Amino acid sequence: MTHPAPHSPRSNGDAVLKVNDLAVLDYRTGEGVPLTGPISFEIGTGEIFGLVGESGSGKSMTALALMRLVPHTSRVSGSAQLKQRDLISASETAMRAIRGAELAMIFQEPMTALNPVFTLEAQLKAAIRAHRKVSSREARTQSIELLRMVGIPDPETRLQYYPHQLSGGMCQRVMIAMALASGAKFLIADEPTTALDVTIQEQIVQLIERLVRESHLSVLFISHDLGVVARLCDRVAVLYAGEIVEMGQSQILLRDPLHPYTKGLLRCAPDFSAVGVVRRGIPGTPPAAGKWDAGCRFRSRCEFAQEKCRAPQMLEEFAPGHHVRCCRAQELRGKAS
């Protein structure tokens, strides 16, 4: 079952990525333990799509599956078409050409993602020349251009810097520059601002927005932070225990959440209108991978759980473009959890 990307402010509705029943299974113990999925979604050209979830929900594993970088003990099933090409069934050689040239990824800790013993120039040039035959001088010129594009002041001087000479925010800008060095138009950003101060987070968010606008980038933005997703993303999918429990336009989903889990997350989000009020979290902890319920996976923590929640729950379209996986969504609508 696919959920076509609707028109959104930034996208014309043409899907650049179509993910269908994507799942990752871990085979370390012999039998396949599901690590995430199956999940399905589409991302439109020029769209910023948010994937929100807590630790263990499978959001990073989904990203790694798209990059085909899952641990060798696990297996990926389903399909993920990036411009008509299936990433899941592509050969390793084909994937090597796709990574960087069409699909790029940035991570949470920019400091550890850069090589500490090489200058930025060496690392940027290597990223550029991995896919294109250009002279060293041409690669240097392009490196300067890339650093300028991601807002690094005085790029000629900074090229000679080592990563430790840069702040966390600057490192993340360099990571973005390297990710886009080979012309990739699809960026997977896995918690790119989580390790940064909020003031710096806002700068990275603005940079991503600008790159989407100017370079026609499409972005899969992974985060545990609903606030930053609301700020940046056109649409959002909420992941719980390996499956999407709610998906829709971020403005609508966050104003009118339908799934009890989304409601719980929203209750915990920053709210400066009520200082000094401690709000309840969600009791209990998410089930570990492989210990997922055949029915609603959120059932054990849900205050609204009933007998009928023991049955498998389907992700259904509740309103145009707004999907929810909860058999009680209609009767609980508007009810705060």
Partner 1 sequence: MGALLELRDLVVTYHSRGRASLTAVAGVSIDLQEAHTLALIGESGSGKSTIARAICGLIRAESGAITIDGRDLLKEAEQPEAAGRYGIQIVFQDPVSSLDPRWPIWRSVAEPRLARFPGSTDTHRRAAVALLERVGLPASFADRKPHQLSGGQRQRVTIARALAAAPRLIILDEAVSALDVSVRNEILALLDELKRERQLTYLFISHDMGAVAQVASDVAVLYLGRLVEVGSADAVIRRPMHPYTRALIAAVPSLTRIGTREARAIGEIDDPAAPPPGCRFHRRCAYAADICRRDVPVEREYAGRVLACHRAEDIALMM
Binding segment (CB under 8 A) for partner 1, from list 21-29, 107-115, 279-287, 319-327:
279-287
Determine how β-strand 235-240 pairs with β-strand 74-82: unpaired
Q: Between residue 140 and residue 159, which ones bind partner 1 under the rule CB under 8 A?
A: none
Among 241, 260, 234, 250, CA closest to 324: 260
Nearer to partner 1, 160 or 167 (CB): 167
CA–CA separation, 332 vs 337, rounded Å? 9
Answer for which of 64, 65, 152, 170 binds partner 1 (CB under 8 A) is 170
Nearest distance in Å: CB 2, partner 1: 27
Q: Residue from 6, 38, 168, 290 that binds partner 1 (CB under 8 A)?
A: 168
Strands 85-86 and 103-106: unpaired
- With contacts defined by CB under 8 A, name the span among 154-162, 165-173, 179-187, 302-310 that binds partner 1: 165-173
CB of 115 to partner 1, least distance (A): 23
Phi-psi region of 278 (alpha: psi -120 to 50; beta: other; left: phi over 0): beta
Q: What beta strand segments (E) does the chain contain? A: 15-26, 33-44, 48-52, 74-82, 85-86, 103-106, 186-190, 218-223, 235-240, 243-249, 316-319, 322-324
Q: How far is the CB of 213 from partner 1 (least distance, A)?
A: 14
Binds partner 1 (CB under 8 A): choice among 92, 164, 214, 278: 278
Which strands, in side-by-side order, build the sheet including 48-52?
103-106, 186-190, 218-223, 48-52, 235-240, 243-249, 322-324, 316-319
Nearest residue to 191 via CA among 13, 5, 57: 57
**How many positions of this chain bind partner 1 (CB under 8 A)?**
49
Among 116, 276, 320, 334, binds partner 1 (CB under 8 A): 276
Taking contact as CB under 8 A, which single stretch among the options 35-43, 157-165, 166-174, 320-328 is the one that binds partner 1?
166-174
Question: Does the footprint of partner 1 cover residue 264 (CB under 8 A)?
Answer: yes
Tell me whether residue 100 or residue 286 sits nearer to partner 1 (CB atom).
286
Residue of 7, 280, 291, 333 that binds partner 1 (CB under 8 A): 280
Interface residue with partner 1 among 255, 291, 333, 335 (CB under 8 A) is: 255
Q: Which residue has the tokens 């850069």?
A: 114
Stretch that binds partner 1, among 130-138, 210-218, 282-290, 304-312 (CB under 8 A): 282-290
**Long-range contacts at 123-129 (CB < 8 A, ≥ 24 apart):** 123/174, 123/178, 124/159, 124/174, 124/177, 124/178, 124/181, 127/100, 127/178, 127/181, 127/182, 128/181, 128/182
Whole-angstrom Cα distance, residue 45 to residue 28?
Answer: 37
For partner 1, the binding residue among 14, 54, 138, 293 (CB under 8 A) is 54
- Using CB under 8 A as the binding rule, the residues of this chain from 84 to 143 that contact partner 1 are none
65 binds partner 1 (CB under 8 A): no
51/170 with CB nearer partner 1: 170
Specify the 3-state DSSP secondary structure of 81.
Answer: strand
Q: What are phi and psi of 200, to 5 degrees?
A: -80, -35
Q: Which is nearer to partner 1, 275 or 294 (CB)?
A: 275
Cβ atoms of 1 and 315 closer than 8 Å: yes
Q: Which of residues 181-240 bind partner 1 (CB under 8 A)?
A: 197-203, 205-206, 224-228, 230-232
Is position 165 an interface residue for partner 1 (rule: CB under 8 A)?
no
- For partner 1, the binding residues (CB under 8 A) are 54-55, 167-170, 197-203, 205-206, 224-228, 230-232, 250-251, 254-255, 264-283, 285-286
